[in-house]
Amino acid sequence: MKRSDLFKKERFLRRAKFSLLFIVLLALYGWAIAGIQFNGMLDTAWPVTKSIVQGFLTPDTSYIYNPEGEDLLRGLLETLAIAIVGICLSIVLAIPIGLWAAKNLSSTPLISQGGKSTLSFIRTLPDIILALLFIKVVGPGAYAGMLALGIGAIGMLGKLYAEEVEAMDPGPVESIVAVGGNKLEQLAFGVIPQVLPGFISATLYRFEINMRSAATLGVIGAGGIGTPLIFAIQARNWDRVGMIMIGIVLVVLIVDWCSSALRKRVL
pLDDT of residue 92: 94
Cβ neighbors of 32 (< 8 A, separation 6 or more) are: none
Q: What distances in angstroms separate CA 36 from CA 104, 140, 266, one per listed residue?
A: 47, 34, 46
pLDDT band with cut points at 50, 70 and 90 for residue 7: low
Q: What's the pLDDT tens digit per position in 23-74?
A: 999 999 888 888 777 777 777 778 888 888 888 888 888 888 888 778 889 9
Task: Kindly report the three-state secondary structure assignment for every residue of the chain.
Answer: CCHHHHHHHHHHHHHHHHHHHHHHHHHHHHHHHHCCCCCCCCCCHHHHHHHHHHHHHCCCHHHCCCCCCCCHHHHHHHHHHHHHHHHHHHHHHHHHHHHHHCHHHCCCHHHHHHHHHHHHHHHCCCHHHHHHHHHHHHCCCHHHHHHHHHHHHHHHHHHHHHHHHHCCCCHHHHHHHHCCCCHHHHHHHHHHHHHHHHHHHHHHHHHHHHHHHHHHHHHHCCCCCHHHHHHHHHCCCHHHHHHHHHHHHHHHHHHHHHHHHHHHHHC
Spatial distance between the Cα atoms of 216 and 222, rounded to a whole number of angstroms: 9
Q: What's the pLDDT tens digit per position in 200-255?
A: 989 988 998 888 888 888 888 888 888 888 888 888 899 999 999 999 999 988 98
pLDDT of residue 1: 53
Computed over every residue of the chain, the mean pLDDT equals 87
Please tell me whether the overall predicted TM-score, pTM, comes out greater than 0.75 for this model.
yes
pLDDT band with cut points at 50, 70 and 90 for residue 95: very high
pLDDT of residue 157: 93
Q: What's the pLDDT tens digit per position in 45-57?
A: 788 888 888 888 8
* Domains and their CATH numbers in the chain: 52-266 (1.10.3720.10)
pLDDT of residue 4: 64
User: Which of 176-190, 191-205, 227-241 is predicted least confidently?
Assistant: 176-190
